[in-house]
Amino acid sequence: MDGDVFEKITRDDFIHGQFPENFMWGAASAAYQIEGAWNEDGKGESIWDHYCHLEPSPIRNHDTGDVACNSYHYYKKDVEILKELGVGFYRFSLSWPRILPNGTLSCINEKGIDYYNKLIDELVSSGVQPMITLYHWDLPQTLQTHYGGWLNDGIQDFFNDYARLCFQRFGDRVKYWITLNEPWEVAIPGYCRGETAPGHRDMAKGAYIAAKNLILSHAKAWHTYDKEFRATQHGYISITIDSSWPESFTASNEDQMASERFLAFHLDLFAHPIFVNGDFSNIVQHQVLKHCQAAGLESRLPRFSEEERKIVKGSHDFFGLNFYRCQLVKHKSSLNGMKTPQSFDKDRETEEFLHSSWPRTDATWLRMTPFGMRRILKFIKENYGNPRIIITENGCTQAGEHDAIDENALHDYFRVDWYRRYLNEVLKAIKLDGVDVAGYMAWSLMDNMEWNDGYSLRFGLYRVDFEDPQRKRTPKLSARYYKKVIQDNGFLA
Ligand code: NOJ
């Protein structure tokens, strides 16, 4: 007990020191959240365009990404603020339907390609390196309507075609590629719980079928780059995986095992196949089978063939991590014999919640828990072969920020504190635990369309005035703070 208390007191201690030389400092965004121009210049509809236009709207305040930050027209402003921040990298995503309006090579939208070429050129000539995410959730609607999107294994080849085209057209200037952003959020809220686009609900199988297709799509695109482009383009390609860090609710064996299961069904659901052995972990296989057998069914978990396992295993050049928060995790039994409802959420046998003492943000799901950053980084080092890690997202909303006016809107002390604390945990992971962290991308460069929460949540280092047709971007205090950390390459004594 004493040990626990002592550990909590020292856990948040601040250390001074610098990040490794050539540490990759950056800021991040995503196409649907910033571009707008949803139907301009030949762009096809995406599942998020479609979802936000549903009646009644599933989005807070009926917001849409129709205009967003209007980066399609104001991308030069984005590059300006990136320069002002002093970052070396900009992580942004390509809109698949802007490049391939119906998702396939049958129609290539050159105007969409021109847009990204202009953005990339502007970045490179400004000394900011592009880091491109190929898929940040905006699937061409045609692929959803006609094929069922990520539930159809045909998507693996569609994605591979799209990826190859992007390597061909942009790879001369782009050295960092991320195939998929947060596949967990695609598979579970998107195709299992039906809470985000495309809103497909299949609690029993949706998550696993989508997960397998996402993993194979990633792996095939990785091999395409590896075989056809790496020798001439000399870049790196991987996937960005997100996860909360589980803190056991109590020290009981039961809750600790629950924490292990939590990770197995979140971080490890994607990391295990890609970084360990080409297949879902034993924990996942065991849990799903157990629940199926209890109802007299065969396992719902799709398996990887031997050939698929070979393609998947090792398909990474670094570990892309999006990390935001800890969750408290408790054991929750969900076996009721024949009555067991078949569901991804029941398979885990966990219950999660947030500790009331963790500082709040504007998002109900997010509280400030920096210590989880160091823990998850160490876990990745120890469980996935000490990979080079790039933190591709981390950041926050601030309680009350949305409605703040005048100067108060820009004085985001909470966010300053957030970056200071989370970055310090990254530094500790590097210095004290020997974790190979190569970079950090702040989420987000500027306020944007926060999916189901619309514009009500602001994650930006820059405030965006959504009432202003010019979508003026203004630095918050956190932008100045982040700039200073970058200049010092850490925390000087
Ligand atoms: C992760 C997602 O990749 C990003 O799109 C989102 O805005 C942030 N989390 C904040 O929720």
Rounded-to-integer distance, Cα 397 and Cα 418, Å? 10
CA of 29 from ligand 1 middle (Å) equals: 9
Q: What is the mean pLDDT of residues 247-266?
A: 98
Quick one: what percent of the chain has pLDDT higher than 90? 94
Q: What is the mean pLDDT of residues 455-462?
A: 98
2 pLDDT tier (thresholds 50, 70, 90): very low
Task: Tell me if 255 CB under 6 Å of ligand 1.
Answer: no
Quick one: what percent of the chain has pLDDT higher than 70? 98
Place of tokens 């590896």: 226
* Bridge partners of residue 26, in order along the sequence: 89, 441
Does 141 or 1 have the greater pLDDT score?
A: 141
pLDDT tens for each residue of 183-223? 999 999 999 999 999 999 999 999 999 999 999 999 999 99
Rounded-to-integer distance, Cα 434 and Cα 436, Å? 6
Task: Tell me if 240 CB under 6 Å of ligand 1.
Answer: no
Which residues have a Cβ under 8 Å from the Cβ of 210 and sit 6 or more positions away? Answer: 149, 150, 151, 186, 187, 190, 191, 192
pLDDT tens for each residue of 156-176? 999 999 999 999 999 999 999
Rounded-to-integer distance, Cα 62 and Cα 348, Å? 33
Rounded-to-integer distance, Cα 487 and Cα 480, Å? 11
> Three-state DSSP class for 91?
strand
Question: Quick one: pLDDT at residue 1?
Answer: 39
340 pLDDT tier (thresholds 50, 70, 90): low
With beta carbons less than 8 A apart as the criterion, state whether 212 and 302 touch: yes
Rounded-to-integer distance, Cα 136 and Cα 57, Å? 21
Atom of ligand 1 nearest to the CA of 30: 5
With beta carbons less than 8 A apart as the criterion, state whether 283 and 260 touch: yes
Which residues have a Cβ under 8 Å from the Cβ of 228 and sit 6 or more positions away? Answer: 164, 167
pLDDT at position 5 over 90: no
Torsion of CA 391, 393, 395, 401, to 10 degrees: 170
User: HSE (CB half, 13 Å, CA atoms) of 259?
Assistant: 19
Selecting among 45, 182, 425, 450, the annotated active-site residue is 182
Average pLDDT, whole number, for the chain?
Answer: 97
The predicted model scores a pTM of 0.98
The architecture that CATH gives domain 22-242+304-321+369-486 is Alpha-Beta Barrel (3.20)
Distance of alpha carbon 294 from the chain centroid: 34
pLDDT at position 7 over 60: yes
Place of tokens 């974790």: 435
Nearest to residue 143, comparing CAs of 158, 163, 165? 158
pLDDT at position 462 over 90: yes
CA distances to 144, 200, 249, 453 from 205, rounded to whole Å, are 17, 11, 29, 27
Task: Tell me if 450 CB under 6 Å of ligand 1.
Answer: yes
Q: Ligand 1, residues 180, 367, 450: which to mutate, most atoms within 8 A of Cβ?
A: 450
Rounded-to-integer distance, Cα 73 and Cα 119, Å? 10
pLDDT tens for each residue of 381-405? 999 999 999 999 999 999 999 888 8
Residue nearest atom 5 in ligand 1 by C-alpha distance: 30
> What is the gyration radius of the CA atoms in the chain, in angstroms?
22
3 pLDDT tier (thresholds 50, 70, 90): low
CA angle 421, 423, 428 (to 5 degrees): 95
Neighbours of 141 (CB within 10 A): 23
pLDDT at position 180 over 90: yes
Residue 393 catalytic?
yes
Place of tokens 């050129």: 121
Question: Quick one: pLDDT at residue 335?
Answer: 78
337 pLDDT tier (thresholds 50, 70, 90): low
CA distances to 54, 57, 58, 223 from 182, rounded to whole Å, are 24, 24, 21, 20
Residue nearest atom 11 in ligand 1 by C-alpha distance: 450
pLDDT tens for each residue of 259-269? 999 999 999 99
Task: Tell me if 343 CB under 6 Å of ligand 1.
Answer: no
Question: Quick one: pLDDT at residue 413?
Answer: 97
In the 3-class helix/strand/coil scheme, how is 106-119 assigned residue by residue? CCCCHHHHHHHHHH
Q: 480: alpha, beta or left, given left = phi > 0 and alpha = psi -120 to 50?
A: alpha
Q: Ligand 1, residues 392, 443, 448: which to mutate, most atoms within 8 A of Cβ?
A: 443
Residue 308 catalytic?
no
Task: Tell me if 455 CB under 6 Å of ligand 1.
Answer: no
Selecting among 45, 308, 352, 393, the annotated active-site residue is 393
